[in-house]
Amino acid sequence: MKAQVQARILIYVLAIFIAGMILLYGYSVVKNLLVTQESVQMLDFKKNVQDQVEALSYAFRDVRENRFQLPVKYTGLCFVNLDIADAGDKVPDNYTLIKNSVKEGARKNVFVVEGNRMGEAFTVGKIEVENDFTCFPVVNGQVRLRFEALGRAVKISSW
E strand or H helix that includes residue 150? strand 142-150
Angle (CA) 83-58-90 rounded to 5° is 20
Rounded to an integer, the average pLDDT of 104-128 is 90
Rounded to an integer, the average pLDDT of 138-145 is 94
Rounded to an integer, the average pLDDT of 58-78 is 91
Give residue limits of the domains in the chain.
35-158
- The pLDDT score that the predictor gives to residue 1 is 61
Alpha-carbon distances of 79 from 17, 19, 128, rounded to whole Å: 52, 49, 8
- The pLDDT score that the predictor gives to residue 2 is 66
Rounded to an integer, the average pLDDT of 70-78 is 93
Q: In angstroms, rounded to a whole number, what is the distance separating the alpha carbons of residues 87 and 26?
A: 48
Q: Evaluate if residue 38 carries a pLDDT over 80.
A: yes
Rounded to an integer, the average pLDDT of 93-108 is 88
Q: Evaluate if residue 123 carries a pLDDT over 80.
A: yes
Contacting residues for 53 by C-beta, under 8 A, at least 6 apart: 124, 125, 126, 127, 147, 154
Alpha-carbon distances of 41 from 46, 47, 67, 86, 143, rounded to whole Å: 9, 10, 13, 33, 13
Question: β-pairing, 154-158 with 127-129?
Answer: parallel
Taking Cα atoms as reference points, which of 154, 137, 131 lies closest to residue 55?
154
pLDDT, greater one: 67 or 5: 67
Q: What's the pTM? A: 0.79
